[in-house]
Amino acid sequence: MDFSLDYTDEQQEFRKEVIAWLDEHAPKALVGSGVGVQGYETGDMVAGGAAPQDDAAEAAGKEFRRQLGEKGWIAPTYPTEYGGAGLTDDHAAVINEELAERGLGRFRSLSLVAPALLAHGTEDQKRRLLPSILRGELTVWQIFSEPEAGSDLASMRTVAKREGDEYVLTGQKLFKEEFYDADLIYTLANTRPGAEPRENITAFLIPTDTRGITIEYRNLGGPAGEQRILTFNNVRVLPEYVIGMEGQGWQVAQTTLELERGGMGSLGSGRTFLDDLFGLARQTRLSAGGS
């Protein structure tokens, strides 16, 4: 059995281009830190779970993200008009692997709101929001869980009632403390009380400065750390902030969650692990008398 990873000639030529670009643009202080990409795109924790220690590192990370975003390499397979590069999955695999080789991680936006917008958003939402999100000009909190319901979407209690040309949101969301601030909240609410769970949820992308949104902190102590409780108190939201159609939130959320659980299909930082695993398999086979 052959455990080797095979790449096409085109992939290997493209890899040379990616390596040369990263050698020139990746800030030396961030290589191996996990900060340059994952820590500043949509606020996902950096490698090791630690926030950057100084403003210089943060500035370097943001500038690197901006440069990578200009090339469309944050979302290589996305259309160019939405902030991508219009490349193939093979190209994307190479980019993610070379970022991982330098400890720069993967852009978290690709498993949060960006795929939901790409699949379900309006043309205006995609053109207006996706490029800014992928370049880190807009940061997003993904908040699905609730204090009483956890991550069980069928038990969600946050309600959004339609009143004229607006939705009025009431309820609470719960999420782990992060070290960054956000411009937008990607969340879910019940817009059809009494309907089937998969037909009563609507997805929203709400500016954090909308009137009626409050955030409080709860210190749990120990490894659990600190949580944030976000309260919607009669928050008025225009339909332009709905992702997809009313009642389509279950499908929108699954688009996000499937990718978050590994559906992107790239080895990324797992390539080193697989190399080690394949090496062990070869050694085990040889020691057992295999060929």
Domain 9-108 has CATH 2.30.29: no
* Region at 271 (left for phi over 0; alpha for psi -120 to 50; beta for the rest): alpha
pTM for the full model? 0.77
Enter the DSSP assignment of 261. Answer: I
Answer yes or no: same fold for 9-108 and 140-254.
Answer: no
The pLDDT tens digits for 230-262 are 999 999 999 999 999 999 999 999 998 886 655
Enter the DSSP assignment of 240. Answer: G
Residue 146: beta bridge partners? 150
Contact 229, 148 (CB under 8 A): no
- Per-residue b or e along 137-174, where b marks 16 or more CB atoms closer than 10 Å to that residue's CB: ebbbbbbbbbeebeeebeebebbbeeeeeebbbbbbbb
Question: Taking 70 as the threshold, does the pLDDT of residue 276 lie above it?
Answer: no
More confident residue, 234 or 224: 234
How many angstroms separate the first and last alpha carbons of the chain? Answer: 9
Q: Any residues with CB less than 8 A from the CB of 209 and at least 6 apart, and which?
A: none
More confident residue, 204 or 148: 204
Contact 188, 203 (CB under 8 A): yes
Fold for domain 140-254? Butyryl-CoA Dehydrogenase, subunit A; domain 2 (2.40.110)
Range with the poorest average pLDDT among 43-57, 229-243, 271-285? 43-57
Crossing angle (nearest 10°) for helices 89-101 and 270-287: 90
Domain residue ranges in the chain: 9-108, 140-254
The pLDDT tens digits for 151-198 are 788 788 999 999 999 999 999 998 875 556 789 999 999 999 888 878
